[in-house]
């Protein structure tokens, strides 16, 4: 039987690695390449990436995946890009060279600037226009920092010599040889410069953050023409027809197309997104209002809760403390823990995200005794991501949008013990899909939609299939005890701020 060999390349540029995956139109992984890269920590609380390394690893993996797919007889038709959000880059329009390292979304260096803006009474304006809180997590204060840190950069920007963007914009600029300076609505909504209701850059916010709007990229729908890759980048000319921030791409990959559907992705951080439909939902519990996606000019909004450290906590146990050699070993190690140890790890390595938004908080481990060991700390690390997710779902419920079930993906979603604890603490069913490459698949699906390979989002729902469901099994009294212990540990962490 004849098989359609049309394929889609997804470039998935993440916080700790760059990946490229070639998918069939049914979501089958045809080829995959991945390269990790170094994190740069100039000072405590500062996190940077070398943009040239981001570019080099993204291009190397794309070339490798395309070559493998071609060798198997597949014909890539288009490119989708998904990326670590909020990470800020400024580069020279003439040469494409960055003027400073990328300042990563985890970076806390602009906490003081955010506090000063809040103390001056600007938080309400930022919240109303952007749906975001004043926090160094977002891009605007990062752009301003770079402009002030590099001698002459602000003057060059005023003359129009520099371009600002998040990682998606930088990759697109390089792929197209500088022909396209664009972003998509989902990434734009994470900068603190984008008016969600009006759907464009806000001049008043640009003045507030001291960022020049002329240097910002054009904001496009998530599916449609962005530009064409040059042959000297990935080896062939392909249209870029889809783009989304990684968490919104994962929501699309998880087919969260109806209001009330919610997913949580467990990567470096963990991010929970609930579809709220065509109306912007405003949280009273410090969750974020954001754009899920914009297609054919129609915006779908979302509520988001951001956990700043999830897989990064596991990585710290592996690399920082040496508790195990491979991240996958944490599941068996945690299984040997004393279930009543009372050990809690609050991973505020880069502050606490929603619903606390405590930029100056730092990590703590509480409840240690002489009987505590590697296993108890490993279990506490996994439980921390589960407890924080429960905190976010409880905040959404208080906002009047409870979740019936939680779709999960990301590296930690392969850990069955973690997913069972997640279901127990959230007191909700947790579902893992067959295709766990949901972020890259979301970008690929958007590209297919933009290239006319798919007719509508609903085709994505037909391609989503569940692998395994985890239902709550913990007694209510035990869950309440565990949750109370976690909340006490968080209060102790925040008391030190």
**How does pLDDT run across 332-365, given as a tens digit for each residue?**
898 898 888 899 999 998 788 878 888 788 899 9
Calculated CA dihedral for residues 271, 87, 215, 293, nearest 10 degrees: -20
Does a structural domain hold residue 234? yes
Q: 213: which residues sit within 8 A by CB, 6+ positions away?
A: 193, 201, 203, 206
For residue range 466-497, list pLDDT tens digits in order.
Answer: 999 999 999 999 999 999 999 999 999 988 66
3-state secondary structure (DSSP) of residue 161: coil
Number of neighbours of residue 454 by Cβ within 10 angstroms: 19
Q: 246: which residues sit within 8 A by CB, 6+ positions away?
A: 12, 14, 82, 83, 84, 85, 265, 267, 439
Q: Which has the closest alpha carbon to 381: 319, 481, 314, 329?
A: 314
**Could you give the CA distance from residue 346 to residue 361 in angstroms, rounded to a whole number?**
10
**Could you give the CA distance from residue 104 to residue 47 in angstroms, rounded to a whole number?**
6
Final residue of a structural domain among 246, 275, 310: 246
Residues 271 and 350 in one domain: yes
Q: Which range of residues forms the domain containing residue 56?
A: 6-246
Residues 300 and 392 in one domain: yes
Residues 235 and 261 in one domain: no
Residues 83 and 109 in one domain: yes
What's the CATH number where 268 sits? Answer: 3.30.420.40
Residues 31 and 75 in one domain: yes
Q: Tell me, what DSSP letter sits at residue 260?
A: T
Does a structural domain hold residue 455? no
Final residue of a structural domain among 181, 215, 246: 246
For residue range 81-101, list pLDDT tens digits in order.
Answer: 999 999 999 999 999 999 999
Give the pLDDT of residue 69. 96
Residues 313 and 210 in one domain: no
Give the pLDDT of residue 489. 92
Global pTM reads 0.89
Final residue of a structural domain among 246, 278, 303: 246
In degrees and rounded to multiples of 5, residue 322 shows phi and psi of 65, 35
Tell the residue number behind the tokens 């913990």, with chain if given.
Answer: 474
Does a structural domain hold residue 107? yes
pLDDT of 401 above 90: no
Rounded alpha-carbon distances, angstroms, from residue 228 to 104, 182, 241, 242, 298: 27, 12, 9, 12, 24
Does a structural domain hold residue 481? yes
Provide the mean pLDDT of the chain. 92
Residues 294 and 216 in one domain: no
**Could you give the CA distance from residue 320 to residue 316 in angstroms, rounded to a whole number?**
5
Q: 24: which residues sit within 8 A by CB, 6+ positions away?
A: 4, 6, 7, 30, 74
Domain count for the chain: 2
Give the pLDDT of residue 284. 87
Tell the residue number behind the tokens 């297919």, with chain if given.
Answer: 448
Does a structural domain hold residue 285? yes
Residues 216 and 338 in one domain: no
**Could you give the CA distance from residue 74 to residue 283 in angstroms, rounded to a whole number?**
46
Residue length, the chain? 497
pLDDT of 9 above 90: yes
Number of neighbours of residue 310 by Cβ within 10 angstroms: 28
Residues 39 and 154 in one domain: yes
Does a structural domain hold residue 443? no
Residues 225 and 90 in one domain: yes
**Could you give the CA distance from residue 81 to residue 83 in angstroms, rounded to a whole number?**
7
Does a structural domain hold residue 453? no
Does a structural domain hold residue 439? no
Q: Tell me, what DSSP letter sits at residue 318?
A: I
Rounded alpha-carbon distances, angstroms, from residue 376 to 221, 270, 379: 46, 22, 5
Residues 65 and 151 in one domain: yes
Mean pLDDT of 169-174: 97
The answer to whether 223 and 295 are in contact (CB under 8 A) is yes
Residues 264 and 369 in one domain: yes
């Amino acid at each position: 039987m004849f098989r359609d060999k049309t394929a889609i390349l997804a470039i998935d540029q993440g916080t700790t690695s760059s990946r490229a995956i070639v998918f069939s139109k049914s979501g089958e992984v045809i080829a995959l390449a991945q390269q990790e890269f170094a994190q740069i920590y100039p000072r405590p609380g500062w996190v940077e990436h070398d943009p040239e390394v981001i570019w080099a690893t993204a291009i190397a993996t794309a070339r490798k995946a395309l070559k493998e797919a071609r060798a198997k007889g597949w014909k890539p038709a288009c490119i989708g890009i998904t990326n670590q959000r909020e990470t800020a880059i400024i580069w020279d329009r003439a040469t494409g060279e960055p003027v400073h390292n990328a300042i990563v979304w985890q970076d806390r260096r602009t906490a003081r600037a955010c506090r000063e803006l809040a103390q001056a009474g600007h938080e309400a304006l930022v919240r109303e226009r952007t749906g975001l809180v004043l926090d160094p997590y977002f891009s605007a204060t990062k752009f301003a920092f770079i402009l002030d840190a590099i001698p002459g950069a602000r003057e060059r920007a005023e003359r129009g010599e520099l371009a600002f963007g998040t990682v998606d914009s930088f990759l697109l600029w390089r792929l197209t040889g500088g022909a396209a300076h664009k972003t998509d609505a989902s990434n734009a909504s994470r900068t603190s410069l984008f008016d969600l209701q009006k759907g464009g850059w806000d001049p008043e916010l640009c003045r507030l953050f001291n960022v020049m709007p002329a240097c910002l990229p054009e904001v496009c729908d998530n599916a449609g023409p962005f530009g064409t890759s040059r042959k000297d980048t990935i080896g062939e000319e392909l249209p870029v027809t889809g783009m989304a921030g990684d968490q919104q791409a994962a929501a699309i990959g998880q087919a969260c197309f109806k209001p009330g559907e919610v997913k949580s992705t467990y990567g470096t951080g963990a991010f929970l997104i609930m579809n709220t439909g065509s109306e912007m939902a405003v949280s009273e519990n410090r969750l974020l209002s954001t754009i899920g996606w914009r297609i054919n000019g129609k915006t779908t909004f979302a509520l988001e809760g951001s956990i700043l450290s999830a897989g990064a906590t596991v990585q710290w146990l592996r690399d920082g403390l040496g508790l195990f050699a491979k991240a996958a070993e944490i599941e068996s190690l945690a299984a040997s823990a004393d279930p009543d140890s009372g050990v809690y790890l609050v991973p505020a390595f880069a502050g606490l995200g929603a619903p606390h938004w405590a930029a100056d908080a730092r990590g703590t481990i509480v409840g240690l005794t002489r009987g505590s060991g590697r296993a108890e700390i490993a279990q506490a690390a996994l439980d921390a991501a589960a407890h924080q997710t429960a905190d976010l779902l409880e905040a959404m419920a208080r906002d009047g949008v409870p979740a019936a079930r939680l779709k999960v993906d990301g590296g930690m979603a392969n850990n069955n013990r973690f997913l069972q604890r997640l279901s127990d603490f959230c007191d909700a069913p947790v579902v893992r899909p067959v295709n766990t490459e949901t972020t890259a698949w979301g970008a690929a699906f958007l590209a297919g939609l933009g290239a006319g390979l798919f007719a509508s989002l609903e085709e994505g729902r037909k391609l989503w299939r569940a692998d395994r469901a985890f239902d709550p099994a913990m007694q209510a009294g035990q869950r309440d005890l565990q949750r109370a212990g976690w909340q006490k540990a968080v209060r102790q962490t925040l008391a030190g701020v």
